[in-house]
Amino acid sequence: MASNFGPIVVALFSWIVFNLIGKPLLRFFDLRTEARRIMVLYDNVAARWKDSVHGAIVVNEDMTPRNFERLQEAENQYRDIASQIRAFADTQAPTCLILRWFGFEVRKASSGLLGLSNTVNTYGKGRASHKEMTNEALKFQPA
């Protein structure tokens, strides 16, 4: 009987570690993949406005109803993935600590995606900086 106790303890410990760390790590990498998919899908979405050199906002004349629909889809998708990543960051602190050791910044990624959802409608520095912030936080190679 005593000889069976060791493997049972190891199995129980392994199960606990997997459920506390391993499973959330897999969830993070699924979220990261989805964030990348959305960023690539909407990378070329047309914006409604453009920042001019003098800081004024200029209306994009090329905006069509289809482009406007796609822009709204992009805003919704960015906001959705940002909220999922923020929820992950708020509820999976031990996993986020491990991810930070590997250079991932989960909360910063969420902020970048949320900012991107708010600035995707304007060509300019804001849109570019949020995209760069997300790429750095999730360790994506620049496009």
Element (H, E) at 51: strand 49-51
Pairing of strands 49-51, 57-59: antiparallel
Asked whether residue 51 is domain-assigned, the answer is yes
Asked whether residue 96 is domain-assigned, the answer is yes
Asked whether residue 143 is domain-assigned, the answer is no
Q: Of 82 and 60, which is predicted with more confidence?
A: 82
Number of domains into which the chain is organized: 1
Cα distance between residue 87 and residue 71, in whole Å: 24
How much is the pLDDT for 53? 64
User: What digits encode the pLDDT tens for the residues 28-67?
Assistant: 999 999 999 999 999 999 888 887 666 666 676 677 888 8
Query: Is residue 17 very low, low, confident or very high in pLDDT (cuts 50, 70, 90)?
Result: confident
On average, the pLDDT of the chain sits at 89
Average of pLDDT values for 109-123?
95
How much is the pLDDT for 49? 82
Average of pLDDT values for 7-35?
88
Cα distance between residue 58 and residue 89, in whole Å: 37
> Using alpha carbons only, how large is the chain's radius of gyration in Å?
20
Nearest residue to 60 via CA among 49, 52, 51:
49
Asked whether residue 132 is domain-assigned, the answer is yes
CA angle 25, 104, 99 (to 5 degrees): 40
Q: How far apart are the first and last CA of the chain?
A: 59
Residues 6 or more apart whose Cβ sits within 8 Å of residue 73? 42
77 is in which domain, residue-wise?
Answer: 22-137
